[in-house]
Structure 1
Amino acid sequence: MPITLTSDALEATITPERGADIVQVVDLATGTPLLAESPTGRVNAGSVPATDSMARWLHGYPGGWQLLVPNAGPEREHGGARQGYHGKASLAVWDVIAQDAASCELETHLMTAPLRIRRSVTVTGDALTVTDVLSNLSPDPVQTRIVQHPAFGTPFLDDESYVLTSAATIVTDAAAPGTLADADVTGRPDEVLPRGPVPGSIRLPGPGSASSLFAALTDFAAPEATFCSPARGFAVRLAWDLTVLPHAWMWIEANASTGWPWFRRLYAVAIEPANVIPGEGDAVRRRRGGPGTEIAGGESLTLTTSIQRLALPAV
């Protein structure tokens, strides 16, 4: 059963039965849902080919916020195991260890990497904080890709919205960069993408614009990105641990994809803290892909990620 956490400013819904996903966060002052909702979340019948891990992951994908471990991106062979699309943590059933009105603690164990993950979610005032502890239960070191996968959507974001980030560099995907930028481009985010109304900001495409993007942000001065919604009258800042997650995947799907799986039904804008740049090969002295972060035998790695409601910046 879903878990609902509430503060005086936010309401969050978490699903232990699938990935401990944060499927939605609602701003209570305006009644505005913040996170994207995917039409694939309503798919709950039929079978998925066992050999197609991407289809299996998208089967029931609700939008919202996932933790991608031990893999992120296409399935791969690593450590003697075939790790599926976007890893196992976001599909796993999680045990509820503790729960009250404003917080919960969950735990799961993975099969394709010797990891136990404990996730704590807390809402306090205008902030939601997620703490993930990845523990290596093997005496040998293990390497893991890690991506926090929150996607924001409508009605919070629209064609007046923009995002502020301190990233000095954007690296577009070498194979499928989308419509907003050319492939394999490296530059300043506000030079590669349309500029927003605040210095250093990026203007976001609105629903129905048929715009898309797949890229990575890197060279951050501060580990945060702020989504600004003039129409709704507030902003939301995403913050994370830069030492563990030095990059952020950035993707936009503004009702652009005509075929499977979206059929022009999804509007989502995501900046996702990550320890790898997506893709394979080199990107201007930066390696795409790779094994990720090494956790020594018997050791743990702790990640803290948060979102917070803020006033809009002065224009």
Structure 2
Amino acid sequence: MVARRNWGARLRETTWDGAPAVVLENERLRVTVCLAGAHVVEFNDKRRDLDLVWLNPNARAPIGAPAGFFDTYPGGWQEVLPNGGAPARYRGAPLDQHAELVGLRWDCAVVADGESEVAVRLSARCVRTPLLVRKVLRLRRGQARLVVEEELVNEAPVAVHAMWGQHLAYGAPFLRPGYRIRLPEGVCVLPHPEPINPPDRAVAAGGPYPWPVVPTPDGGRVDLSVVPDRGAPSDIVYLTEFSAGWYELADPDSAAGVRVEWDASVLPYLWLWHELGASRDHPWWGRAYVVGVEPFSSYPTDGLPGAVDNGSALTLEGGQTRTLAWSIGVIGDG
């Protein structure tokens, strides 16, 4: 039971599309988490009444019988584990797109419920792999920043591989053409080997290329730090060589936007994904204008076996626990 309070930091139990949800709120932010999949379906900058998350036009909470990822993907932000990207089979376990956590009901327990701070602990146990995730979401009074502290546990006595990532997707009304992505110096770009939306792609194969200006397939050059106009080619690239784990996505005029910080020793890659209306078939039907900027343990988006093959998959020994701290907050005055 959460305290009844309408000032300072506060918690509220609610529903989202019929599924249980929890709201963490203070003077600056309102964060809504759908517990079916632990999807963050609202990250609202209350000063501007501006939600930063992208919501899928077909948004649905994953309730009832199992369905494919794109049948219940609400948009928003979610935890990806243990399979990043395309459906795959790992050691006999069939894994859907970005499965398993996105389709599971998460347990929720109140950790703190005071005027100065609220926090909840979310936990979920995978079904087809022996992995358990526990994470605390914390919001302090007066701060426009959500702090997340995570544990990933291998409950089996044998070693297990995993891809672990934060699937952060931004859309309108927050996201607009011309917004800038800022990163630490020294970051490199690894293009995906194949086009995401054949025959279009934004970045030439090959690399690594120094961030942010990289070649295009037609011999030109593109600045990946600038969010493109609607209709630009769909693509995904992988950024690496982070001296520190952080990025900012912001309006170049006002500097208002979002800053994400994470432990780059645990998640050394950043997936940069554009779907800007060029994909005219399933699942987007030309309706998406979304950019994903996603800290990840591994690459590419071909599924866990590919990450095992290239050596980027996480390895958890039998009984091992890995920890991760990260945060996301609003920046600038707007």
TM-score, length of structure 1 as denominator length: 0.85
Please point out which of 201, 204, 209 is paired with 1:179.
201
State whether residues 279 and 289 of structure 1, in contact with CA within 8 Å, keep that contact through their aligned partners in structure 2. Answer: no
Counting only pairs closer than 5 Å after superposition, residues 139-150 of structure 1 correspond to structure 2 as 139-150=157-168
**Aligned equivalents of 1:291, 1:87: Cα separation in 2:** 18
State the 1:40 CA deviation: 2.5
Matched, 1:112 2:124: no
Change (3 A) 1:11 1:288: farther
State whether residues 23 and 65 of structure 1, in contact with CA within 8 Å, keep that contact through their aligned partners in structure 2. Answer: yes
Question: What residue in structure 2 maps to residue 300 of structure 1?
Answer: 321
How many residues align? The count is 295
Percent identical? 28
Question: What residue in structure 1 maps to residue 16 of structure 2?
Answer: none
Question: What residue in structure 2 maps to residue 310 of structure 1?
Answer: 331
Change (3 A) 1:232 1:153: farther
Q: In the TM superposition, what whole-angstrom CA distance separates every residue of 1:148-170 from its partner, at most 9, and x where no partner exists?
A: 10111111121131110125211
**Aligned equivalents of 1:209, 1:305: Cα separation in 2:** 32
SS in 1 for 2:97: coil
**Aligned equivalents of 2:321, 2:298: Cα separation in 1:** 19
Question: What residue in structure 2 maps to residue 40 of structure 1?
Answer: 58
**Aligned equivalents of 2:106, 2:212: Cα separation in 1:** 40
Please point out which of 247, 257, 280 is paired with 1:258.
280
Instruction: Name structure 2 gaps, 5 residues minimum.
Output: 1-19, 215-220
Question: What residue in structure 1 maps to residue 226 of structure 2?
Answer: 203
The one-letter amino acid paired with 1:163 is I
The one-letter amino acid paired with 2:121 is E
Please point out which of 68, 72, 75 is paired with 1:56.
68
Question: What residue in structure 2 maps to residue 221 of structure 1?
Answer: 243
The one-letter amino acid paired with 2:225 is I
State whether residues 38 and 105 of structure 2, in contact with CA within 8 Å, keep that contact through their aligned partners in structure 1. Answer: yes
Please point out which of 100, 103, 122 is paired with 2:138.
122
Counting only pairs closer than 5 Å after superposition, residues 76-95 of structure 1 correspond to structure 2 as 76-95=88-107
**Aligned equivalents of 1:232, 1:4: Cα separation in 2:** 28
**Aligned equivalents of 2:322, 2:22: Cα separation in 1:** 25
Mean Cα deviation higher: 270-279 or 260-269: 270-279
Change (3 A) 1:126 1:90: same
Counting only pairs closer than 5 Å after superposition, residues 8-19 of structure 1 correspond to structure 2 as 8-17=27-36, 19=37
Change (3 A) 1:217 1:291: closer
Matched, 1:75 2:87: yes
Question: What residue in structure 2 maps to residue 6 of structure 1?
Answer: 25
- Over the aligned positions, Cα root-mean-square deviation in angstroms equals 2.6
Runs of 4+ in 1 over 6 A off after TM superposition: 43-47
State whether residues 68 and 96 of structure 2, in contact with CA within 8 Å, keep that contact through their aligned partners in structure 1. Answer: no
**Aligned equivalents of 1:240, 1:111: Cα separation in 2:** 27
Question: What residue in structure 1 maps to residue 217 of structure 2?
Answer: none
Question: What residue in structure 1 maps to residue 170 of structure 2?
Answer: 152
Mean Cα deviation higher: 174-183 or 264-273: 174-183
**Aligned equivalents of 1:185, 1:152: Cα separation in 2:** 26
Instruction: Name structure 1 gaps, 5 residues minimum.
Output: 196-200
State whether residues 95 and 106 of structure 1, in contact with CA within 8 Å, keep that contact through their aligned partners in structure 2. Answer: yes
State whether residues 193 and 205 of structure 2, in contact with CA within 8 Å, keep that contact through their aligned partners in structure 1. Answer: yes
